[in-house]
Structure 1
Amino acid sequence: MDAYGTDSDARQGLDGPGRSGGAPEPDAPPGPVGPPEPDGSSALDGPPAQDSPPEPAGPYPLDDPQDASTDAAVLESGGLAFSVTPAPGPYAEPRTGVAALSPRYQIGAALALAVVAVLVCVHVGMVFLHVAPSNTLTKAHGKAIDDWIYPEFEQNWKLFAPNPLQQNIAVQVRAEVQEKNGDVRTTGWYDLSAEDGQAIHGNLLPSHTEQNELRRAWDFFVSTHDGNNRPAGLRGALSETYLRRIVVLRLRRDDAAGKGGAIDQVQVRSRTTNVPPPKWSTEKISDKPMDRVLPWWPVTAADTDGGAR
């Protein structure tokens, strides 16, 4: 047998015929040989080679198929599909204030603002006419102006006057009380101005009543009466009634009548004390208080809580 014969089982060359080296490949397992394919290929040849990946079976859905407003583009690469959502538009600022209301409430808010604007204009006009010098409008509509201004919005210029107030005026009152057993007694003097001052002292938000009610009532009385406490005009009786009701209510608040007692009469007086000058001043003034005592006023049912309501 030839060493290089083809019918020998010995390997040819280094590793056998046609091999340059390496381990021998195992023999293919036996298997059925199928019929040839129509194109002449056999089942043993494997699947045919494809030049490109297969097309997708259908369109790929977007990330959110329910959102019809999303304009997404589908990019295909290597048989894979990616959904790309466009960037959102510019951010819209949320509406605030009146603009955030419904149209019906916007109309209501506009009407309310219009009413407030009209009231402000009317009030400013009334105050201007009140402090302005006498003119045609004040002469023709003076009563309407006074009804609007008094007593809540009255204006005065005493702080800026050439001779500002240099006196402390205290309003005091005493009462004649009928006891439960029929006895009559006279109370001491109640300093109502001092009570108001104590309520205001240290109070960051004092009430209008504590600051001005008693003071304005006394100024009203003085301006409508002469030095002998006689009314000087038609408003004199009104000022007396106003002042009397205020002092009666204050006495009842202080329980001046006591348990079971009743107030029959009241008497009001003012005590005026000059403000002392500064130490560097050479001005000499009296420090003696001056009293103005009013006559006794009978208290009627209209002066009590029931009549004052």
Structure 2
Amino acid sequence: MDGYDTGSDARHGPHEPGGAPGQHGTAGLPTPGPGPAVPGPAPATDPGPAGPYAESRTGVAALSLRYRIAAALALAVVAVAACVHIGMVFLHVAPANTVTKKHGKAIDDWIYPEFEQNWKLFAPNPLQQNIAVQVRAEVRAADGGVRTTGWYDLSAEDGRAIDGNLLPSHTQQNELRRAWDFFLATHDGDNRPVGLRGSLSEAYVRRIAALRLGRDDAAGKSGSVIQVQVRSRTTNVPPPKWSGEKVSGQPVYRELPWWPVSAADTDGGAE
């Protein structure tokens, strides 16, 4: 048949599919030859637990299992102790109830003397006096001589430590003040103990005084404290200028008897 005869050679090229590389394929498109090798990305390798992609751990998670268990137990103990302390303080300041009547001694043993609470700041007639606790000592020198020191103003020492301190310690703020309040609450006007906690308050004040004297090196080199005497110096806070109230500006002293000092009072520092 004449005309435009299109045979298979015209349609598919000189060769059928599967020919040599570089020749035409079935779609009439050139098939790429081998050409030069093009480097591709390197196969991924496992960096291992310490490789660059390992998850970094900080804090408690970085500890071994044994130390994490120990940390958890320590936190649990602290949490339980905090809850017990808050509960004891609440029961101490709360009105009398069934729990305080049944377990009052256990609560008192926990609170006194370090954690005693009071409401003097919020009383109808709050404190309007400055009370300074002072102490002097009878000391034995290394040569056997005995002398009496001057008065050490322990309250003034605490005041100097607090003044300008943004984070004063609880000891500097409250230890001496609370000890003296504890003593006054358990003694009458003649300094005789009232109740079962009188001797405890005496031992507490005596120990604080002896430790403070040791800190101030009152006995000198190789000396020892034989006994101490504590007194308070009370002065009235001046009223404001617009007030017509008149108060005395003279200090009032309250001297306690001499107390012998034992090794327990100075943590082994006295004989």
Check conservation: 2:24, 2:30, Cα contact below 8 A: no
Change (3 A) 1:292 1:110: closer
The more displaced of 99-108 and 126-135 is: 99-108
The more displaced of 130-139 and 292-301 is: 292-301
* 1:54 partnered with 2:31: yes
Shift of 1:212: 1.6
- Find the aligned partners of 1:289 and 1:65 in 2 and give their Cα distance: 91
* 1:187 partnered with 2:164: no
Aligned length: 236
Change (3 A) 1:300 1:204: same
Classify the secondary structure of the residue corresponding to 1:287: coil
**CA-to-partner distance for each residue in 1:83-103, whole Å, 9 max, x for gaps?**
xxxxxxxxxxx8988896699
- Find the aligned partners of 2:63 and 2:200 in 1 and give their Cα distance: 52
TM-score normalised by structure 1 residue count: 0.65
* 1:278 partnered with 2:237: no
- Find the aligned partners of 1:233 and 1:49 in 2 and give their Cα distance: 117
Q: Which residue of 1 aligns with 2:193?
A: 231
Q: Which residue of 2 aligns with 1:294?
A: 256
- Find the aligned partners of 2:220 and 2:159 in 1 and give their Cα distance: 24
Task: Look up the equivalent residue of 1:284 and give its one-letter code.
Answer: K
Shift of 1:270: 0.6
Task: Look up the equivalent residue of 1:280 and give its one-letter code.
Answer: W
Shift of 1:301: 3.0
Check conservation: 2:116, 2:178, Cα contact below 8 A: no
Shift of 1:175: 1.7
Shift of 1:238: 1.7
Match of 2:223 among 249, 257, 261: 261
Check conservation: 2:138, 2:228, Cα contact below 8 A: yes
Task: Look up the equivalent residue of 1:187 and give its one-letter code.
Answer: T
- Find the aligned partners of 1:99 and 1:182 in 2 and give their Cα distance: 58
- Find the aligned partners of 1:118 and 1:179 in 2 and give their Cα distance: 49
Q: Which residue of 1 aligns with 2:50?
A: none
- Find the aligned partners of 1:137 and 1:99 in 2 and give their Cα distance: 39
- Find the aligned partners of 1:112 and 1:203 in 2 and give their Cα distance: 31
Task: Look up the equivalent residue of 1:245 and give its one-letter code.
Answer: R
**CA-to-partner distance for each residue in 1:189-229, whole Å, 9 max, x for gaps?**
11111111111111112222221221122111111111001
Task: Look up the equivalent residue of 2:208 and give its one-letter code.
Answer: I
Change (3 A) 1:193 1:111: closer
* 1:196 partnered with 2:158: yes
- Find the aligned partners of 1:102 and 1:206 in 2 and give their Cα distance: 34
Change (3 A) 1:156 1:65: same
**CA-to-partner distance for each residue in 1:103-154, whole Å, 9 max, x for gaps?**
9479736656555544443333222212110101011112222233334433
- Find the aligned partners of 1:102 and 1:294 in 2 and give their Cα distance: 56
Larger radius of gyration: 1
In the alignment, structure 1 segments of 5+ residues that lack a partner are 1-38, 40-47, 69-93
Check conservation: 2:88, 2:107, Cα contact below 8 A: yes
Match of 1:154 among 101, 109, 116: 116
Classify the secondary structure of the residue corresponding to 1:283: coil
Match of 1:207 among 148, 166, 169: 169
* 1:247 partnered with 2:209: yes
Change (3 A) 1:139 1:194: same
- Find the aligned partners of 1:238 and 1:105 in 2 and give their Cα distance: 43
Shift of 1:186: 2.1
Backbone CA RMSD of aligned residues: 3.5
**CA-to-partner distance for each residue in 1:245-268, whole Å, 9 max, x for gaps?**
211222222222233433222211
Check conservation: 1:98, 1:106, Cα contact below 8 A: no
Classify the secondary structure of the residue corresponding to 1:269: strand
Change (3 A) 1:127 1:239: closer
Check conservation: 2:138, 2:147, Cα contact below 8 A: yes
Match of 1:221 among 166, 183, 203: 183
